[in-house]
């Protein structure tokens, strides 16, 4: 069974995949993360993170059709697997529990 703990970067990628839905490509994931967090991710970091999530069984990937816009290259599309959704839900719940009641202490 894969470890369930997710690092912050892994969580960000999974949240983006959850929001974008099945078939998201790395460019859309990068754009979503930047729009929501202001964090600019390099393509290499995204590919590495998604590959790690695939190896852990949290994400699947598949190649789309070749397109003329990309010079005949195929885009890789990603989808959140049930194990990834469960791991993200578990981390989300844990962080909610840990942060409950702390907002007044954060706003000083």
Domains and CATH numbers, the chain: 8-65+73-103 (1.10.10.10)
Q: How does the average pLDDT of the chain come out, rounded? A: 90
Phi, psi of 24 (to 5 degrees): -65, 145
For residue 70, name the pLDDT band (cuts at 50, 70, 90): low
Instruction: For residue range 35-44, list pLDDT tens digits in order.
Output: 999 999 999 9
pLDDT of residue 1: 47
pLDDT of residue 106: 86
- Rounded average pLDDT over 1-6: 67
CA distance 85 to 28: 19
- Rounded average pLDDT over 4-22: 94
pLDDT greater at residue 66 or residue 107: 107
Out of 14-23, 67-76, 81-90, which region has the weakest mean confidence (pLDDT)? 67-76
In this structure, are residues 59 and 79 in contact, taking their beta carbons and an 8 Å threshold? yes
pLDDT of residue 53: 97
């Amino acid at each position: 069974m894969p470890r369930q703990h997710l690092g912050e970067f892994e969580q960000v990628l999974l949240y983006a995949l959850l929001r974008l839905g099945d078939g998201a490509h790395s460019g859309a994931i990068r754009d979503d993360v930047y729009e929501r967090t202001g964090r600019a991710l390099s393509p290499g970091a995204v590919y590495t993170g998604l590959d790690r999530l695939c190896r852990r069984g949290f994400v699947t990937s598949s190649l789309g059709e070749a397109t003329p816009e990309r010079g005949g290259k195929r885009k890789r599309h990603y989808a959140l697997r049930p194990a990834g959704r469960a791991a993200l839900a578990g981390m989300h719940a844990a962080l909610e529990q840990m942060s409950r009641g702390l907002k007044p202490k954060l706003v000083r």
